[in-house]
Chain A
Amino acid sequence: MKNEPNSTNFLRWFDPRNRKLGTLAFILNRITALGLTLYLFMHLIVLGTLARGPEAYDSFIKLAKTPAILVGETLVIAAGIIHGLNGIRIALNSFGIGTRHQRLIFIGLMVVAAGCIAIFVKSMFFSH
């Protein structure tokens, strides 16, 4: 184990043990950013199916309505909401706004995120 800073230490970013709420926010931001980046690439690949004609696209739409894909979409929405709201906290702090109350702001925004995610889950899984 290297004690000095090293790019190979990046897995330790995701270790929340003995750390405070700020590290949880940091970890959430990293995971959601990685998830959204992965989704972006997958989305571009899916859009590429449009070029293969209507049949290929229709078969994709059929696949997109399966429960596994719906769960994946829910995770994308959750990641977008969490990343976006946490980004608002960071942006506000960077302008010197609410820096001393960043913990409370984070908790408040995550409560809002949980509410928004719950609404999306309800509309995606229970509205039919």
Chain B
Amino acid sequence: MNETHWRVTFEIFRQKTGQPCHFDEYVMDVDPDEYVLDVVERIWAYNDRSLTFRHACHHSTCGACGMRVNSVEKLSCITPIREVARNGGKVRVEPLRNFPVLSDLVVDMGAFYLRLDDAKFSQVASLKDACLPFERKQQVREDGSYERLVDCLECGMCISACPVALTTPEYLGPGVLAAAQHAFHQSRDTSLLDLVDDQDGVWRCHSAYECTAVCPSNVDPGWRIMDLRKNILRHQISKIFSRRGQSR
């Protein structure tokens, strides 16, 4: 083995519906500069055709290949082996936390997607609105006619990393709250504030900011949750004053 050929043991989480979970080990010869997903695919192709996992684009656009690599949420398609292992070492690959396991590394994200719909998640926004407010704005046309895909990949890694989501299935979760903030930022639709102003909404967050730490796409869900809190407080205070104004 040399600098371009490593031998790494992959411990892959295995579980089929209704069966107990276990880990299978595969000793693989790898190039340290290839990605974790490449090796998982090779394990499927040459070692075990019953291994199931999700992937699509291979370049961090689809968000399908979110997994826990050595207990940290990663998009496996852009995680080089060199970053998570050493020659002769081990790499543990597990499904995302806080989602029911369907099969091996595949989790059921249906409830998450339905909640994104409730939060009026929009996959496309004008260039101006697609950025975080404190980011350097891209050059845009005066009429704002350029649009682009928003940063959120819907990968679910923020929910996997969130310690609060570990224990509360009703919690909307950072990804959904970030989507609601983004939609509110665009539309000023106060029904979105009503949706998230709940003990299982923004007030359930305990400021661990793990969502922001693992987000592969600059969404910064932690900042967005706090921005929602600020807007809820502002909205509630303005409602009090408008009621007083009406009663006079």
Contacts and interface: CB of A to CB of B under 8 A. Distances in A.
Interface of A: 1, 3-7, 9-10, 12-13, 17-20, 22-23, 25-26, 29, 89-90, 93-96, 99-100, 102-103
- Rank and list the top 3 A-B pairs by shortest CB-CB distance, nearest first: A22-B209, A96-B230, A26-B208
Given A5-B167, A26-B207, A100 B223 contact: yes
B114 to A, nearest CB: 15
Interface in B209-248: 209-210, 212-213, 222-223, 226-227, 229-230, 233
A5 B207 contact: no
A90 B209 CA distance: 11
B210 A23 contact: yes
Where chain A touches its partner, the secondary structure class is helix
B210 A3 contact: no
Contacts, number: 87
Contacts of B227: 96, 99
Contact of A13 (B95, B107, B134, B166): B166
Nearest to B212: A22
B72 A18 contact: yes
Given A13-B166, A29-B206, 4 more contacts: A3-B99, A20-B209, A26-B207, A95-B229
Interface residues of B, number: 34
Given A3-B101, A96-B229, A19 B210 contact: yes
Contact of A22 (B95, B210, B226): B210
Interface in B109-158: 134
A93 B220 CA distance: 14
Contacts of B165: 5
B203 to A, nearest CB: 9
A94 B229 contact: yes
A15 to B, nearest CB: 9
Given A22-B209, A26-B208, A96-B230, A4 B99 contact: yes
B163 interface: yes
B223 A13 contact: no
